[in-house]
Amino acid sequence: MAHSAWEHSVHCTTGADHMTTSEFRMYGRQVVDWIADYYNHIEERSVHARVRPNEIRDGLPEEIPQQGVSFESLMADIDCLVLPGITHWQHPRFFGYFPANASFPSILGELLSAGLGVQGMSWITSPVATDLERLMLDWLAQLLDLPQSFRSDEPGGGVIQDSASSAVLVALVAGLNRASGGTASRHGVGNSNYTVYASKEAHSSVEKAVQIAGVGGQNLRLVPTSSGTLAMRSDLLEAAIRSDIAAGMAPALVVGTVGTTSTTAVDPIREIGQICKETGVWLHVDAAYAGVAACCPEFRWLNEGVDLADSYCTNPHKWFLTNFDCDAFWVADRRDMINALSVMPEYLKNMATESGEVTDYRDWQIPLGRRFRALKLWFTLSWYGAQGLQAHIRHHVALAQEFASWVGSDNRFEVVSAHPLSLVCFRACGDDAVNERLYRRLNETGRIFVSHTIVDGRFVIRMAIGGTLTERRHVREAWELIKDCFGK
Ligand code: PLP
């Protein structure tokens, strides 16, 4: 039989002691069972890891074993050494940062992708990896009601990036390409007269992109926000761009944020977009966390003005049940991006590329190699369907609104910013020291995990509700704990 020949060949001809297909079958089942058990009992665990730096490492050999070890011993180490060092992002009482919610269909898609071991850098290297990805990004664009220009049969199109950080870097090099009339990728950023704009509340990945692309931190303009809404002041953006142009600078990129990391503030994208259109500056919209909520018609307002954007991203790996990593990134016109990122060494030339009929996603991202991520996105979107995904978003938004109402009706606490989605920022009455103490106590209990930020110069606790397994009782438990810890 074919499979026994394979078993024979891996043992006898390669030298290395490969795992056979029957061993893979057996251990694979054990691993799937292990994961299912992990989820069945996840709630009993302390949410975050309680280990000292290097504690895990001290339990492992300092050097690679000379002889391979058994799979059983590896799984034993998972239990004894790895699990204690895990902060359980999938725990139903994980309320830190933004969620990175996973789901079983996505995990299985990821497993298949690993099993197929495809490296989908060009269409020719595995056509379905590209074709399925194009379709998934079209599905998603339709589900989120994004502009028609983002569809793959238009001048634009979508691609999966590893992260929103990569997305903004790609947007920046595309913007530099446009601002330089196509010369930046060949001649560099020269006298450093390119400028980038984002609000003071924008994610730090903008600053990082500016550093990597050689624009230089001194050319990043952090535009003030309106007090109250924490949204970018478009009048101040316009003033900054016009004053830079007058001074001989070359504005290359504006980043507008839909759902800032600290508080989910939403920049006025239409006003920003109009300024960008008038001045010819590339507009990238970063909706890393919030964008997926637009699958629900009642949250379509999040897309207001996105038709003016040159690029847009949202992360299914945050709040859309798709395992990390999966950032969905679209451009309205792909030419500047491809001009900026395309290289064509001899060893990558092929007839499909030369025909001009195929998409080569290596020209849409920073690395050359790329994983078959579309599989997990396909499994997730198909398993849940539009209605399942809408229910998922609505569930968390409703929990967050209820949590905010509990906080708001207790005069020992205050909600500090608008909370239209599933993040609630709050603080206890008192100074920063009181709030920092409360925050530390909460996390020390191991019962919940929350993160913090600074809003208007004050320390604030962030309660981000978005776990796949999070139910009302978990949020209620968190609220009781918050009151308890404050009272101590
Ligand atoms: N942009 C925003 C608004 C975010 O909230 C985040 C992360 O929380 C990012 C970008 C960075 O996301 P990633 O980890 O995918 O790079």
CATH number for the domain that contains residue 126: 3.40.640.10
The pLDDT value recorded for residue 15 is 75
Checking phi first, is residue 417 left (phi over 0); if not, alpha (psi -120 to 50) or beta? beta
What separation in Å is there between the alpha carbon of 98 and the centre of ligand 1? Answer: 9
What separation in Å is there between the alpha carbon of 347 and the centre of ligand 1? Answer: 35
pLDDT tens digits for 203-258? 999 999 999 999 999 999 999 999 999 999 999 999 999 999 999 999 999 999 99
Measure the CA–CA gap between 369 and 155, rounded to whole angstroms.
Answer: 24
Please compute the mean of the pLDDT values over residues 169-188 and round it to a whole number: 91
The pLDDT value recorded for residue 187 is 80
Sequential DSSP letters for 75-118? HHHIIIIIGGG---TTSTTEESSS-----HHHHHHHHHHHHHT-
pLDDT, greater one: 191 or 309: 309
Measure the CA–CA gap between 46 and 312, rounded to whole angstroms.
Answer: 37
What separation in Å is there between the alpha carbon of 288 and the centre of ligand 1? Answer: 5
Instruction: Please give the span between the terminal C-alpha atoms of the chain, in angstroms, as a whole number.
Output: 69
Between 2-11, 178-187, 313-322, 466-475, the lowest mean confidence (pLDDT) is in: 2-11
416 in any annotated domain: no
The pLDDT value recorded for residue 9 is 45
What separation in Å is there between the alpha carbon of 244 and the centre of ligand 1? Answer: 28
394 in any annotated domain: no
The pLDDT value recorded for residue 14 is 66
pLDDT band at 420 (very low <50, low <70, confident <90, very high): very high
Does residue 205's CB lie within 6 angstroms of at least one atom of ligand 1?
Answer: yes
pLDDT above 90: residue 182? no
Element (H, E) at 297: none
What separation in Å is there between the alpha carbon of 21 and the centre of ligand 1? Answer: 39
Please compute the mean of the pLDDT values over residues 42-71 and round it to a whole number: 92
pLDDT band at 183 (very low <50, low <70, confident <90, very high): confident
Please state, as a whole number, how many other Cβ atoms lie within 10 Å of the Cβ of residue 406. 19
Atom of ligand 1 at shortest range from CA of 98: 8
Does residue 163's CB lie within 6 angstroms of at least one atom of ligand 1?
Answer: yes
128 in any annotated domain: yes
pLDDT above 60: residue 127? yes
pLDDT band at 2 (very low <50, low <70, confident <90, very high): very low
Does residue 462's CB lie within 6 angstroms of at least one atom of ligand 1?
Answer: no
Helix runs in 409-455, H state only = 432-444
Residue numbers of the domain that contains 334:
118-371
Sequential DSSP letters for 373-388? THHHHHHHHHHHHHHH
pLDDT above 60: residue 3? no
279 in any annotated domain: yes
The pLDDT value recorded for residue 29 is 98
The pLDDT value recorded for residue 191 is 67
pLDDT band at 388 (very low <50, low <70, confident <90, very high): very high
Model-level pTM? 0.95
Atom of ligand 1 at shortest range from CA of 317: 15
Please state, as a whole number, how many other Cβ atoms lie within 10 Å of the Cβ of residue 221. 19
Q: For the chain, what is the mean pLDDT?
A: 95
23 in any annotated domain: no
Number of domains in the chain: 1
54 in any annotated domain: no
pLDDT above 80: residue 1? no
Question: Rounded to an integer, what is the distance from CA 153 to the centroid of its chain?
Answer: 25
471 in any annotated domain: no
367 in any annotated domain: yes
pLDDT above 50: residue 412? yes
Does residue 325's CB lie within 6 angstroms of at least one atom of ligand 1?
Answer: no
What separation in Å is there between the alpha carbon of 264 and the centre of ligand 1? Answer: 12
Does residue 165's CB lie within 6 angstroms of at least one atom of ligand 1?
Answer: yes
The pLDDT value recorded for residue 6 is 44
433: helix, strand or coil: helix
Please give the single-letter amino acid code of residue 87.
Answer: T
Strands 423-428, 250-257: pairing kind: unpaired
